[in-house]
Amino acid sequence: MQNMPCTKMSVPRFAVRNQKIAKTFSIAALTVLMSLAASAEQNGGETMTYRHFEVEDADGRVARMMPVATTQTPLWAREVRQSPFDWRTQSAGRNPVFLPIIPFVLPPPEGSGEPFYGHNHQPDITWLPNGDLMAIWYSTRGESGLELTVLASRFRAGAGEWDPSSEFFKAPERNMHGSALFHDGAGTLYHFNGMGPRDVKGWRSLALLLRTSRDNGVSWTPPRTISSGDRYQHRHQVIGGVRQMRGGTLVMLCDLYAGQSGGTAVHVSQDSGKTFADPGGDILGVHAGLVELKDGRWMAFGRGNNIDGKMPKSISNDHGQTWTYSPTEFPVIRGGQRLVLMRLNEGPIVLFSFTSRREEPESGDMNFMDSKGNAFIGHGLFASLSYDEGQTWPVRKLITPGEGDWDGGAHHRRFTATPTRAEPAGYLAATQSPDDMIHLISSRLHYRFNLAWLEKAADPVE
């Protein structure tokens, strides 16, 4: 894939003044820009707006990474408001809310030169202090391809639709497999990403990278390796679902291996992201979701590695060094599906998952209750709530618009929604904004609702 122009540096003293050099992007210009980026990194990691970076490897490890700046500002960095947003102005309180479903994966404007491939997958989403939402995901022809790149889009405060996508993070001729995006609630935005060796297809061995932003995702520190991330190895396939525990501990998750099962590693920071370490224990199942329980233990659910035909649960009481395993009550999920496990602002823990495998979307027999107290079997995307730290899950809600034909993107594409049929698959990610609205994305669609809607029984099913 061609290393396309990105954006100018936001730090004035590093601005590119020679337009001729910027346009031709000669080898000499690239050398100068890389030198300037390296100088910024040495001076405390000063931020710039960039999406491409060059990598130097030595002895099979990442030795140096240098952001590359050019003239075209990506859409995700244009005209971004920096004033704080009062989220209370749009809170629905205890009134049930389910807003229209909208796509967040939108192609770039025609003729923009932005990359956009047929397979858009593995997203993450977070809220920002300025009232925006930001989502990232990878776009590629094939998941092993060297063209695989990370795209981004904004849902701006007050807007009715997402911005078209634009490229967000790419090193040339490298598979950029796996991304996570997380706002710590105090103004720092964390972007984690995997990166394969140059000219090596697939994601079996990856480096583990981090960069941060303090201006709502406009400018970023130079990428750096974290934990064991300067080595290309397993335990580095980033997945969404970063969590901030009590006391400020940051926990990000990575699949152990490339495959349908195996496990999930955690990388833990006790110093606000300055350093990370892998404590060594393994969550059962890939693409795991994680929450901290009130007693300080960590609870995770995963995909694959099923126990007694059910989704596995992992519990750690030593911050990820060791885990114990048991079955949940929930059905297994497989390829093309990813769960979300999170604690809501109001206190309950919520699981978002699917009633059955993508290949057999109506094979499950999960029961739901309607507002008349009648049980019905539903299929597809659902939520379940726990009010007692995961011991019981008394509330289940099928997340469906009830009607219409939809394009879910990625692996499953078209589906028809009914009161008993929801989206059958997708890689889920979620954030809850300070107005208590839950923003759940699958591989292409953006669902918006609140806890009151989840707790409200479905309308009677005829």
Sign, CA torsion 399/405/407/413: positive
The residue-averaged pLDDT of 223-227 equals 97
Mean pLDDT of the chain: 90
Helix, strand or coil for residue 454? helix
The residue-averaged pLDDT of 345-368 equals 91
* pLDDT of the residue at 45: 65
pLDDT at 236 over 50: yes
The residue-averaged pLDDT of 84-95 equals 88
* pLDDT of the residue at 169: 98
* pLDDT of the residue at 71: 77
pLDDT at 44 over 90: no
* pLDDT of the residue at 70: 72
For 269-301, give the DSSP string.
Answer: ESSTTS--B-----BSSEEEEEEE-TTS-EEEE
Better-predicted residue by pLDDT, 124 or 361: 124
pLDDT at 102 over 50: yes
- In this prediction, what percent of the chain has a pLDDT beyond 90? 82
* pLDDT of the residue at 38: 40
3-state helix, strand, coil split of the chain in percent (to 5) is: 10, 40, 55
Question: How many angstroms separate the CA atoms of 158 and 169, rounded?
Answer: 26
pLDDT per residue as tens digits for the range 364-385: 889 999 999 999 999 999 999 9
Tell me which fold the domain 85-455 belongs to: Neuraminidase (2.120.10)
* pLDDT of the residue at 3: 38
- Plot region of 137 (φ>0 → left; ψ -120 to 50 → alpha; else → beta): beta
In b/e form, how buried is each residue of 122-159, taking b as 16+ CB within 10 angstroms? bbbbbbbbbbbbbbbbbbbeebbebbbbbbbbbbbbee
Instruction: Give the lowest-confidence range in 76-85, 137-146, 173-182, 260-269.
Output: 260-269
* pLDDT of the residue at 412: 76
Question: How many angstroms separate the CA atoms of 353 and 75, rounded?
Answer: 32
Most confident of 25-29, 91-95, 393-397: 393-397
pLDDT at 163 over 70: yes
* pLDDT of the residue at 290: 98
Give CA 66 to chain center in angstroms: 24
pLDDT per residue as tens digits for the range 172-222: 999 999 999 999 999 999 999 999 999 999 999 999 999 999 999 999 999
The residue-averaged pLDDT of 32-41 equals 40
pLDDT per residue as tens digits for the range 1-36: 333 333 333 333 323 333 333 333 333 333 333 344
* pLDDT of the residue at 24: 33
Q: What are the Cα distances from residue 136, in Å, to 64, 217, 380?
A: 24, 11, 24
* pLDDT of the residue at 411: 79
* pLDDT of the residue at 29: 37
- Contacts with 431 (C-beta within 8 Å, 6 or more apart), sequence order: 125, 126, 127, 133, 183, 438, 439
* pLDDT of the residue at 180: 98
pLDDT per residue as tens digits for the range 48-69: 999 999 999 999 999 999 999 8
Element (H, E) at 140: strand 133-140
